[in-house]
Homo-oligomer: A and B are copies of this chain.
Amino acid sequence: MAKNIPYKIYLEESEMPTAWYNVRADMKNKPAPLLNPSTHQPMTAQELGAVFCDELVQQELDNDSPFIQIPQEIRDFYKMYRPSPLVRAYCLEEKLQTPAKIYYKFEGNNTSGSHKLNSAIAQAYYAKKQGLKGVTTETGAGQWGTALSMACSYLGLDCKVFMVKVSYEQKPFRREVMRTYGAQVTPSPSMTTEVGRKILAEHPGTTGSLGCAISEAVEVAVGHPGYRYVLGSVLNQVLLHQSIIGMETKIALDKYGIKPDMIIGCAGGGSNLGGLISPFMGEKLRGEADYRIIAVEPASCPSFTRGVYAYDFCDTGMVCPLAKMYTLGSGFIPAPNHAGGLRYHGMSPVLSQLYADGFMEAVSVPQTRVFEAAEQFARVEGILPAPESSHAIRVAIDEAMKCKETGEEKTIVFGLTGTGYFDMVAYEKFHDGKMDDYVPSDEELQAYFAKLPKVD
């Protein structure tokens, strides 16, 4: 029986997880390995070590250890902003007049404004431990760049961020937050890298993409001694670090005897979704429990729902390893009217394998319906959600309304990954009726699929 549930469940420091959970250990079909783009052979630890920090390479390749201890220094940093609250959405339930019980895990209460900090501090920590001078990365909407800047500033590491040009120009405040934390921010594509110059020559006037920015960041990391590249999503290691979200959620639910019927998360590269669902997916994989697990993606960037499951490049410059994932093709860029993040062409290999094996569902939603949900949520729950997070809100509301029709008292848990303070331009478009719901055509996608690398 559920006890009397408070609005917000906070764990005590003593209840916080001391290890990350590695869902790969419980997967019968392991995620496909990263391949060397030239030889199409699995990337070795040594090859990966040229790009990534050594200990992160180990985590990337470790498909077997179910738990990996969180170093004390990272646990201390987590204490600055964790545990994040698990909130019972009493006000939303009341507004919807639904018998469903809705909970959300809110990751926005830190200055980076999102869950990205959970992996940023881990990656920066291992870079520091390896004695590196700094790290390079890319950022789109800016949450990841902000989180990494914060982590690097805390540890005294240099931080070079390639920011997708369109975001750099449209979000000067995001850039300014990164500067406050001492990061160097370069709009991408830039003339500072070979791959940037090549992309600019081929596509003059391009406003950039995550895929371009990744290529530039990798080039700079590989070309500068004492630097490595770090990434905020997609990779196995990122999902590992983000498992803290799901583990805290599960501990909080267990404490009150609550068993969710479904778990809903937005999905771009998969960092939040993979983290949120990991312990629940673990139970499901081990046959100990069953849950509906739902990935929500933008209709304008629908990798799960309309992509293909195949090896593809992780970046536009094709300098990174190949990953087997649901992908729209590495040349795909969502329409410029798409607001917020969730704009990566691919998807986490771990989540891709789980989806291919039928352990989770995926739905795509058009952005005006996402902003309707965002506004409805903000007005009753008092949190201004990020556009990304609002994808999960949309489907949580839809599911709660189904419960209203059927009278079922289902328990819905969703991930509220962050806040929308830097997305007011998008909110303004929505208020002014200037937001539309562009969706890529089948022909457009087929053209990208045709360019996928051929891997035997």
Contact = CB atoms under 8 A, between A and B. Distances in A.
22 contacts: A7-B13, A7-B80, A10-B10, A80-B381, A80-B382, A81-B382, A91-B154, A110-B382, A111-B378, A111-B382, A111-B383, A117-B382, A150-B382, A172-B424, A176-B431, A177-B384, A177-B424, A177-B427, A179-B428, A179-B431, A180-B384, A181-B379
Interface in A98-124: 109-111, 113, 117
Contacts of A91: 80, 154
Nearest to A8: B79
Contacts of A177: 384, 421, 424, 427
Nearest to A109: B109
Interface string A283-298: 0000000000000000
Contact of A182 (B179, B379, B381): B379
A176 B6 contact: no
Contact of A111 (B79, B179, B180, B384): B384
Contacts of A117: 382
Nearest to A106: B109
A167 interface: no
A173 B13 contact: no
A418 B383 CA distance: 15
A1 B109 CA distance: 31
A375 interface: yes
* Stoichiometry (number of copies): 2
Contacts of A12: 6
Contacts of A424: 172-173, 176-177
A368 interface: no
B79 A428 contact: no
Contacts of A427: 176-177, 179-180
Contact of A154 (B10, B172, B375, B380): B380
A36 interface: no
Nearest to A113: B421
Contact of A421 (B172, B173, B378): B173
Nearest to A182: B379
A300 interface: no
Interface of A: 6-8, 10, 12-13, 79-81, 91, 109-111, 113, 117, 150, 153-154, 172-173, 176-177, 179-182, 375, 378-384, 419, 421-422, 424-425, 427-428, 431
B111 A181 contact: no
| Chief secondary structure at chain A's binding surface | helix
Contacts of A181: 378-379
A166 B255 CA distance: 50
A150 B384 CA distance: 10
Given A150-B379, A177-B424, 17 more contacts: A7-B13, A7-B80, A10-B10, A80-B91, A111-B378, A111-B383, A111-B419, A153-B379, A154-B382, A172-B424, A173-B421, A176-B424, A177-B427, A180-B379, A180-B384, A180-B427, A180-B431
A108 to B, nearest CB: 9
B109 A378 contact: no
Contact of A378 (B8, B13, B180): B180
Nearest to A89: B80
* List of 3 A-B pairs having minimum Cβ-Cβ separation, nearest first: A173-B424, A7-B79, A421-B421
A410 B253 CA distance: 40
Nearest to A379: B153
A380 B111 CA distance: 12
A182 B376 CA distance: 11
A401 to B, nearest CB: 21
Nearest to A12: B6
B80 A172 contact: no
A80 B419 CA distance: 16
Contacts of A10: 10
A107 to B, nearest CB: 12
A177 B383 CA distance: 11
A176 B374 CA distance: 14
Nearest to A7: B79
B431 A375 contact: no
